[in-house]
Amino acid sequence: MSNTALTIAMPKGRIFEEAYDMLIEAGFNLPANVEMSRKLMIEIPEENIRFILAKPMDVPTYVEHGVADIGIAGKDVLLEERRNVHELLDLNISKCHVASAGLPNTELNDIAPRIATKYPNIASDYYREKGEQVEIIGLNGSIELAPMIGLADRIVDIVSTGQTLKENGLVEYEFVVDVSSRLIANQASYRMKNDRIQDLVKRLKKCVREG
Ligand SMILES: Nc1ncnc2c1ncn2[C@@H]1O[C@H](COP(=O)(O)OP(=O)(O)OP(=O)(O)O)[C@@H](O)[C@H]1O
Ligand SMILES: O=P(O)(O)OC[C@H]1O[C@H](OP(=O)(O)OP(=O)(O)O)[C@H](O)[C@@H]1O
């Protein structure tokens, strides 16, 4: 098999650790304590692979533009960013779901209820499909504050353990979509570097845990 160079965009933050463990298990000789250092590019010369460490929301951008051949991104990010990338494999890590939530016992009877979210596309798609008109309020984090403080009637956000909702006196109303991390590829790389990419998929597939 050819040893064409591969660039892989890895998300910093939550997904990193699980993705890192999978890559190690798949035999990639990544150095220890990668996240402790401030280095944003790591090379593995013997595999002719380099890893770039990116903000999770930016991974599909690097991959769509072809500066990374491969990336790892949450399904939430893929649905929100709508980048033209090839989805290769569900890694079944960093599992959670997107849901709507709000203060308990509150009906949505306004003409256009306010929905706070850092996923404006996912939220508007969801309510459009339901035929409900809403006003989307974009936030970057601490989304749960919005209904507590009267900025919004509902939030659309990630729920994992449910602890954040619980500790802030909110309840889940509607399930929107399941989320796990996916291996993605640049469309041109997928064709031009197919052997190498298939080899990577094969190695990682063996490490995917079901359930
Ligand atoms: N509570 C959670 N439990 C499990 N997975 C999560 C959770 N929150 C987010 N994720 C997954 O991890 C991805 C990245 O989450 P992370 O919080 O590291 O990034 P971020 O929100 O972009 O970071 P930051 O807020 O630091 O900019 C999300 O896109 C999602 O797929
Ligand atoms: O159900 P849980 O296990 O409590 O996880 C859900 C929380 O995790 C994420 O927040 P994050 O920690 O990324 O904070 P931020 O959105 O404020 O940046 C998400 O936005 C929820 O607030």
What confidence tens digit (pLDDT) does each residue in 170-196 have?
A: 999 999 999 999 999 999 999 999 999
DSSP readout, the chain? Answer: -----EEEEEE-SHHHHHHHHHHHHTT--PPTTGGGS---EEEEGGGTEEEEEE-GGGHHHHHHTTSSSEEEEEHHHHHHH----EEEEE---S-EEEEEEESTT----SSS-EEEES-HHHHHHHHHHTT---EEEE-SS-TTHHHHHTS-SEEEEEESSSHHHHHTT-EEEEEEEEE-EEEEE-HHHHHHTHHHHHHHHHHHHTTPPP-
Tokens representing 31 are 């150095």
147 lines ligand 1 (CB under 6 A): no
Question: What does the pLDDT read at residue 148?
Answer: 98
Check whether 211 has a pLDDT greater than 90: no
- Whether ligand 1 lies within 6 angstroms of the CB of 96 is answered as yes
Q: What are φ and ψ of residue 106, in 5° steps? A: -120, 125
How many angstroms separate the alpha carbon of residue 27 from the centre of ligand 2? 31
| 127 phi/psi in degrees, rounded to 5 | -75, -30
Q: Whose CA is nearest to atom 26 of ligand 1?
A: 13
**pLDDT category, 37, cuts 50, 70, 90?**
confident
One-letter amino acid for residue 189 of the chain: S
Mean pLDDT for the chain?
A: 96
Q: What percent of the chain has pLDDT over 70?
A: 99
Quick one: pLDDT at residue 167? 98
Distance between CA 120 and CA 186 in Å, rounded? 24
Of 35-39, 168-172, 203-207, where does mean pLDDT reach its minimum?
Answer: 35-39
Question: What is the edge-to-edge ordering of all strands in the sheet holding 96-102?
Answer: 135-138, 114-117, 154-159, 96-102, 171-179
Say how many Å lie between the CA of residue 94 and the centre of ligand 1.
8
Task: Decide whether any atom of ligand 1 lies within 6 Å of the 57 Cβ.
Answer: yes
More confident residue, 120 or 33: 120
Give the pLDDT confidence score for residue 1 in this predicted structure.
Answer: 58
Q: Under the phi-then-psi rule, with left for phi > 0, alpha for psi from -120 to 50, and beta for the rest, what region is 120?
A: alpha
**Which atom of ligand 2 is closest in space to residue 167's alpha carbon?**
4
The complex scores an ipTM of: 0.95
Atom 15 in ligand 2: residue holding the nearest Cα:
141
pLDDT in tens, 50-94: 999 999 999 999 999 999 999 999 999 999 999 999 999 999 999
Q: From the CB of 60, is ligand 1 less than 6 Å away?
A: no
| CA separation for the pair 200, 71 (Å, rounded) | 12
Q: Which domains does the chain have, with CATH numbers?
A: 6-94+180-205 (3.40.190.10), 96-178 (3.40.190.10)
Cβ burial, residue 72 (10 Å; 0-12/13-18/19+): buried
Residue nearest to atom 18 of ligand 2 (CA): 141
